[in-house]
Every structure is written in structure tokens, then in C-alpha cells.
Chains A and B, each alone.
Chain A
Amino acid sequence: MKSAVIVFPGSNRERDMLSALEKITGTKPVAVWHADKELPKVDLVVLPGGFSYGDYLRTGAIAARAAIMDDVRKKAADGVHVLGVCNGFQILCEAGLLPGVLMRNSHLKFVCRHVKLEVANAKTAFTRKYKQGEVWRCPVAHGDGNYFADAETLARLEGENRVVFRYAEGTNPNGSLNDIAGIMNERGNVMGLMPHPENEIEDLNGGIEGRALFESVLEAVA
């Protein structure tokens, strides 16, 4: 599987993501600079975690207007898989590729810890290697992960089975609505999530259950 990781000024988990993708897919992903106009031909585009533009103004707001984002939109419309993790999720929301917004954590503090994630929809390109309802351990590290959408949007997301991951067992770390940790677009090829599956892929991390997410995409595009 060919993949690309977009690097924005202030991205800081792009190296984690590049390394995870290489370890799991066996192919070296391409790092793409935010100011570029075009993405290479790939099966998966990843917007990594970090503090693009320092999280200034609103998280993801400035990056969402970067030059490369037009092509991300185009690729998404063509059905290429797009994954936004943490800051990447925030950028996708700001760019209008996913609905809603990620607000300050309800306790107003940055939080880095392991949470439990429940697979709310195992029939997606990003989750097919998980079991429906499966609960797995994954780290979060963010200050703005509090998912919010208006009632109508929320009802649609739930009704269309577009909530992909939820914080389970009382581990919601940020106050997000309906314990939402990750959602996808209507077509199911664009997903954003706050937790960091790329930091849960080898024994060193204390667990490898994040691998299944990448393996799912690998299988989906095969």
C-alpha cells in the first residue's frame, strides 16, 4: 500500500506516523510538504498529529487552509482513503471534510494517557480488522479533543453509523459528546480520530492493538 503523510509547520507526530506506516505496511510512505499543490498517487493520505501553526487561532484552522488541502479534498472525492489523527482530525473538521469541531477539553488541560476505545462500527475501511464492540487500549495526547456537533449533525452521525470509535468504560478524557473518539464521512473513506493508534503498534508501547487500524486500510485497498 502506498501512503503519504502531510507535514504542516508544527506537525510533530509525523515521524511517529511515517515509522508506523512503514513498519506495518512494509512500504515507506511519502512525506508531503503542506505548501505543495499535489499529492502523489497513493492509497492512503494521512494528516498526522501535532500543533500545526502552534494551534493558534483554533486547532487545525490555519492548516485547513494550506495549499495541499485542495488536493486532499479532490483525492477524498475520488475515494482515496484519508485518515486524520489528533491534529489531523481537527484539520479535517476545519476543512469541512468531516462535520463538527474539536473544542477545548472540558477540564481545560492537556491530557496524555491511555484510554479504552470501543469499535462502534467495524464495517469500515479503517476498522474491518477489529470486531464490532471490541475494546482496545490506545493513548491520547491532546488539549482540544472535545468533539462537538449540533444535535442534528450528531443524530445524523449516529443514525448513519458514522461514529467509528468511542471512549469506553468511563475513559472519556475530554468531555466529547456521546463519548465520540472518531468519526467518518458519509462515503466512509475519510476518518478522523483523536487517539494515537500509531503509538500503540509494538511491544515497547505496551500494546499493539493500534496496528489493526492500519492493517484494515491495507486490506481495504488491496
Chain B
Amino acid sequence: MIANDVKITPKLVAEHGLKPDEYQRILDLIGREPTLTELGIFSAMWNEHCSYKSSKKWLRTLPTTGPRVICGPGENAGVVDIGDGQAIIFKMESHNHPSYIEPYQGAATGVGGILRDVFTMGARPIAALNALRFGAPEHPRTRHVVSGVVAGVGGYGNSFGVPTIGGEVNFDESYNGNCLVNAFAAGLADADKIFYSQAKGVGLPIVYLGSKTGRDGIHGATMASAEFDKDTEEKRPTVQIGDPFSEKLLLEACLELMATGAVIAIQDMGAAGLTCSAVEMGAKGDLGVELDLDKVPCREEGMTAYEMMLSESQERMLMVLDPAKEKQAEAVFRKWGLDFAVIGYTTDDLRFRIKRHGEVMADLPIKELGDQAPEYDRPWIATPKAAALATSDVPAPNDIADTLVKIVGLPDMASRRWVWEQYDHLIQGNTAIGPGGDAAVIRIGEGPKALAFTLDVSPRYCAADPVEGGKQAVAECWRNLTAVGAEPLAITDNLNFGNPEKPEIMGQFVGCIQGIGEAARALDFPVVSGNVSLYNETNGKGILPTPAIGGVGLLPDIAKRVTVAFKKAGDAILVIGETKGHLGQSIYLRDILKRREGTPPPVDLAIERRNGDFVRSEIRAGALTAVHDASDGGLLVALAEMAMAGGVGARIEAPRDLPLHAWAFGEDQARYVITLPDAMVKPLLDRAARAGVPASRIGTTGGDELTLGSGAPISLKRLKAAHDGWFPTYMAGPDVMDAQ
């Protein structure tokens, strides 16, 4: 009989984030009242974060397989074959709520969590990226959140020793009370030495590894799925502290241990720590698990079973070990100064049994804990279609040059150097293209193979039209990989939305997934891992729908990579793809005219693919000297970025068939700006014509000014001052901790 000394009241149930019908489901499942520890376990397993109860139905519609996919969603990270017996393992995960409460530690532990996901599978991390979204710059808390989050991302990754090579930073008032911190990590492993979480074998030791357990983040997982409100203050002590030093030791110890062949199954302790990891390992292997919590290394005295099962202390792992190699395994961990304790064993009775001080504190059916989690088909309303915006309804600026300078210095468009210089993007010595380009490129071993990485989404498009926005995010990701010469392989996603219990929000979610799915299928770009973060709301107001897409691409020969920078004077500048001057939802419309209107630019996936395949084949043939995709801000902004990056100006012809501002700032998709030697233009145009790809020459590089038609030249110096200046100037303001 199981001790049941705490009366489970409806209030207690509600405090655990469980709805009355969900509690009833628990009662039906176990046929008695749960103990407090059991209630805690259910609340951890059945909250949104772990169970995906609102999103599962829709996630199933995503394409997750492909010739290169070794392991899709369902493990700690996705695994993709990159040839030569090697695999790339990657995933993205959010740490939004914790990062708003304590920006430094929230972001740091977010990075720690995703790195662990990757090396748990046997991979040595080779790249980290991060997609960050903050409130309006003028909001009193924004600066503090930015400085803390960036320092936290850097603080963890730099110390751990992974190059942080890219990501995104955006500002919007919808994130005022709810920043987004989406951390991506990728690691390299031998394709035949991947480690999974499925336990195998009865009576085998379950080993606890890493740091000690404290009362950190108890209720963290529940918090991550709860809306913010005025009580947020009280939830503060659940903040977890990251210890990148221990994580680095854990990495080295795990990889060393895996090489000995002692590891049968391994799972990191992330959200809901011991509970989630132990249940997953057992349930996947059709095995029961029995744990004796007295054996768990603890940092604090008098921890209860409840606390130990829900603690989110960082830098911990659970393994099922080959008993014959237990001594050897322990020696490895002792060498690295980490805790190592056998805390239980696998059983054949499919129960999840927890003991503390010799007493059974929980005894639950292990499969049902996961399988029988509630799943919802939440009501949803499709986002109403916005009215298209005619170009004639969008006034031209007085001065194109001034407008361009303004745009390149906008919070969303300015250089992110201030951010990425705080990240060690060079460690490991393989960074071929660092932050600041379309995609970052990392050499694999001694080459010539390399991988490209990028994170993308345009939340304003997703808000205006979730389906097109979802498509666009995937398409832009694909395009960014293509722009450096990579073959796009697969993606991970991080779906950040508001409260799914609201049909309009659920409609955004459903729409975005539909768009992501369509694009992923059309571009053969399967989803191999991901994460969902819901309830990103403050006082009833949701964030912009933000499905961040992380993409990985392969370059067979690193020597053939290209960057965005203009290389020298005298190169011809061409645009690939058609420019129609779509200004709906553009940066120009939003930030210069202060209007959030119209439809986002439509994405034609067939055209996307055709244009991209053409550009990639030209890059691989060595024909191009610079490539940049035209996205946020439009063509002229892309040209300015290429000029600034190379310190080389350009003379651009004005368009004949479009109003100048529509041509300059329209955000039509599937476009690339390329440069090549003058003499090569004719043959390239011929090849483009044969491939049915629109291509036209628009100018020539040279000088230190950007000149558009007969307009006054804009000096690169002036552009750079605006572009480079915004971030440092903004961040020089006072960083006040509790200005809420």
C-alpha cells in the first residue's frame, strides 16, 4: 500500500495546472487517489511542454522522413545523414518564460538544455544558433532583457566551447512581456554510433550522472506552459542556474563513456528532470523503472520525493548501463569530477515505482503516463485573409536615399554585431562563414565537406497570413542555405504562439503548420525535430505567431562557398527572380509608413525551388563572386548590405517598369542578388533563360557609394554609420533590473 498523507484537493489539482477532466482521467487510469508525488509526476508529464497535448494532432501532419533522415522527431534531436558515415544531429528549443524572469540564467540554461539534447545522442556540438525576440526598444524592460539574454547565451556557449554562429534578433511590442529565446544546437557523430533513449534489458542499472539535484526550477515545466500575469513575481524562486563548466565536463565524460560501449540508453534531464527522463526511457523500451531516491546525489538536505522528481537542476543525465562495464563507467565520471550513482534498475512490470526512505511514494503505469496523456483537438478559427494592398496605395518616400539609410538603421534591420561579438563564433577553428551572412558555414573535420546553418521566420507575415507566413519561413531558410552554396537537408522548428485555448491563436498555429508542411514537402526539406512553446501571453495579449525554422544544408566542397560581400569593383550585379514590388507587410510599410497592412508576399514553392536550384548550381560551378537573398527590406536593402559587407559600392540602374520605391523596398520572394565578372554575364543569362529563371542585370560594383539611377550617391560611410550604430547606441542606455 502506498502512503497517502496529503489530501488531494481540487485547489491542489489546479495548482498543478491540471484541469478537472484531466484529473478525472488520472483517477480512472490508476483507480485511486494519487499521492502528492504522483500528482506532481502527472502534472509534469501532462503539461503542454512535455505532452504536446494541444499540438500533437497538427505536428503529425509535418513531413518527417527523407532519404537522408536517420532519426526524425521523437528522440532528443533529429539525425540526418551527411555522407561518409557521418551524421548531423540537431534541434531547437525554447526557453522563453525563464528568460523573461531572469534573462541571463534563463537564456544560459536554454543553451545548456539544447546542447545536452545533442550530445546525449553521442554528438560533439559543432554549432549553436539562437533566435531572439524582444519587446519594443522603448519598453522599459527591453534593454535589460536584451543585455541579459545575450550575455547568457554567450556566457554558456562560450564557456562550453561551441561556436555560436548565427540566429535572429527582432523587436516587437507583442514581446514586451514575453521575450522569445529559441536556442539551436547541432552536433556531429558517426552515423553508426548514435545513442538513443530507449531502455533495453530487464534488471539493468539506471545511473544518475552529472551535477547534484537541488530545488531548482521545481514547477519550471509547469511555469513554461502558463501564461504570465501579476503573480509572476511569486514564481521567481524556480529560476535555474546554469553551470556551463559542469556541462563541459559532462560532455567530455559522456563522449568518453560512450566510446567504451557501456551505454545502453541515455537521456538528458531537461524539463521535469528525473520524471520525464526516467519515464521516457522505460516507456520507449516497454520496461518498468524502479528508482530509489535515497541514492540520488542531492545538493540540499531534506529533499522530498516530490521535489526530487520535479527538480530541474541542470547538467544531469540518466543512463542505462551495461552492468559489466559499471566500474569502468564510474571511473570515467570520477575522473571528470562528476557525480555517478546507480539509483535504480529496469523491471519487467511496466510500472514506474519511486521509493524514498524505504517507502513507495509513487507506483504508476509507465506507458500510460506518456501514451494516455490528454490530447486535444482544440477549436480553431482561420485567420481572416487580409485585403491585398495595391502599390498605388503606398506612397513613395520623399527621398529614397534617406529612406534607405533609415531602414538599414532600424532596430529590426541594423547590424547585429553588438550581439554576436559577445559570442565566441570562432572556437573549434572551423568557422568558414561566421555570423552576419545568409547562413553560417562550418567545416567538417578537415573538409572539404561543410555544413550551413540558419534560423528564420518573419512573424509579421505569419500574423497577416499564417499559411503564407509558415511557407515563407521555410522558404527563406531554404534560400539562405542555398545562398551560400549549400544543399538544404532538413529543418527543426520552434513553434512559439499564444494561448491555444483561444480559437484565433489556435488558428494561427494550425495555419503556420500547414504552411510549414507544404513548404517542407515541396522543397524536400523534412522536419526532423522541434519544439512547441504555447501560452506566450501577458495579460491576455499574445505574441506574434513565431514559428522559427532552423535549417541545415550541406556543401560538398567548402572552397565553393560564397558570401554576401561585394568582392571588388567592376563585377556585374544581377537579380535572379522576379521583382513585382510587393509592399504589403513590408518593412517599408511597417516602419517608415507605420502601417501594418496587406497580405505578405506570396510564396510560390515551385519558383522558389527553380530559382534556388539555379543559383546553387551557378555557385557550385564557381561562377559567382557574391550572393545574397533579397528578403526583409527588399532589393535595395540587400544591395546596401552587400556593399557594406564588402566595403565596395555600386552603381544601380533605376527600374523602368515599376515605381522606384516598390522596386527598392518590395519584398517579393524567391530572389537573389548575385555578382560575377562582367565577361561571364552573357553565358549566365543564357543558362538562366534555358532554365526558365528570370535574371536581369541591374548594375555594376565599384566606388564607395551606392548610386541608384540619376539619384544622389549614398556614401557607404553614411549607410554603415546608421547600420552599425543602432545597436551599440541603444544598448548604451541604462540597464535597469526591475523596471516592470
Contact = CB atoms under 8 A, between A and B. Distances in A.
B244 A51 contact: yes
Interface in B394-442: 420-432
Interface string A105-126: 0000111110000000000000
Contact of A205 (B244, B249, B424, B429): B429
A112 B162 CA distance: 13
B705 interface: no
A141 interface: yes
Contacts of A110: 151, 154-155, 158, 422-424
A131 B243 CA distance: 43
B244 A112 contact: no
A109 B429 contact: no
Contacts of A50: 161
Nearest to A12: B161
B337 A9 contact: yes
Contacts of B376: none
B235 to A, nearest CB: 28
A176 interface: no
Contacts of A15: 428
A143 B426 CA distance: 15
Contacts of B249: 9-10
Interface residues of A, number: 28
A13 B163 CA distance: 11
Contacts of A109: 151, 421-422
Given A53-B245, A204-B558, A12 B427 contact: yes
Interface in A25-80: 50-51, 53-56
A110 B155 CA distance: 8
Nearest to A112: B424
A112 B421 contact: yes
B622 to A, nearest CB: 16
- Interface of A, secondary structure class, is mixed
Interface string A133-154: 0000001010100000000000
Contact of B427 (A54, A141, A201): A141
B367 interface: no
Most B C-beta atoms less than 10 A away, residue of A12, A51, A141, A201: A12
Q: Which of A9, A111, A112 counts the most B-chain CB atoms under 10 A from its CB?
A: A112
Contacts of B336: 9
Of B160, B246, B424, B428, the most chain A CB neighbours within 10 A belong to: B424
Contacts of A205: 426, 429
Contacts of B155: 110
Interface string A179-204: 00000000000000000101101001
Contacts of B246: 54
Chain A CB within 10 A, most for which of B158, B160, B243, B432 = B158
Contacts of B432: 204
B443 interface: yes
A20 interface: yes
Given A12-B160, A13-B161, A54-B159, A111 B429 contact: no
A51 B443 CA distance: 24
Given A9-B337, A110-B158, A204-B558, A199 B426 contact: yes
Contacts of B427: 12-13, 16, 141, 199
Contact of A12 (B151, B159, B423): B159
A55 B443 contact: no
B245 A19 contact: no
A139 B427 CA distance: 10
A201 B337 CA distance: 34
Interface in B435-463: 443, 447
A113 B435 CA distance: 11
Nearest to B423: A112
Contacts of B429: 16, 19-20, 198-199, 201, 204-205
Contacts of A201: 429
Contacts of B423: 110, 112
A51 B159 contact: yes
Nearest to B417: A113
A204 B430 CA distance: 7
A141 B244 contact: no
Contacts of A111: 421-422
B141 interface: no
Contacts of B447: 204
Contacts of B161: 12-13, 50-51
B671 interface: no
Contacts of B661: none
Interface in A83-116: 109-113
Given A56-B245, A112-B422, A204-B443, A16 B158 contact: no
B424 A54 contact: no
A110 B418 CA distance: 11
B424 to A, nearest CB: 4
A95 B252 CA distance: 26
Contact of B159 (A19, A55, A113, A196): A55
Interface in A1-17: 9-10, 12-13, 15-16
A141 B158 contact: yes
B248 interface: yes
A46 to B, nearest CB: 15
Contacts of B422: 109-112
Nearest to B248: A10
A112 B426 contact: yes
A110 B151 CA distance: 8
A54 B244 contact: yes
Nearest to A196: B426
Interface string B33-71: 000000000000000000000000000000000000000
Contacts of A12: 159-161, 248, 427
Contacts of B425: 112
Interface in B242-264: 243-246, 248-249
B335 to A, nearest CB: 8
A141 B245 contact: no
Nearest to A16: B429
Contacts of A196: 426
Interface in A126-177: 139, 141, 143
A109 to B, nearest CB: 5
A38 B575 CA distance: 63
Interface in B706-727: none
Contacts of B243: 54
Contacts of B245: 9-10, 51, 53-56
A105 to B, nearest CB: 10
A190 to B, nearest CB: 24
A33 to B, nearest CB: 8
18 contacts: A9-B249, A12-B427, A15-B428, A19-B429, A51-B158, A51-B159, A53-B245, A54-B243, A109-B421, A110-B424, A112-B420, A112-B425, A112-B426, A139-B426, A198-B429, A199-B426, A204-B429, A205-B429
Given A12-B427, A54-B244, 16 more contacts: A9-B245, A9-B248, A12-B159, A12-B161, A13-B161, A16-B427, A20-B429, A54-B245, A109-B422, A110-B151, A110-B423, A111-B421, A113-B421, A143-B158, A201-B429, A205-B429
Interface of B: 151, 154-155, 158-161, 243-246, 248-249, 336-337, 420-432, 443, 447, 558
| The 10 A-B residue pairs with the shortest CB-CB distance in the complex, in nearest-first order | A12-B161, A54-B245, A51-B159, A141-B424, A16-B429, A112-B424, A110-B422, A10-B245, A139-B426, A199-B426
Interface of A: 9-10, 12-13, 15-16, 19-20, 50-51, 53-56, 109-113, 139, 141, 143, 196, 198-199, 201, 204-205
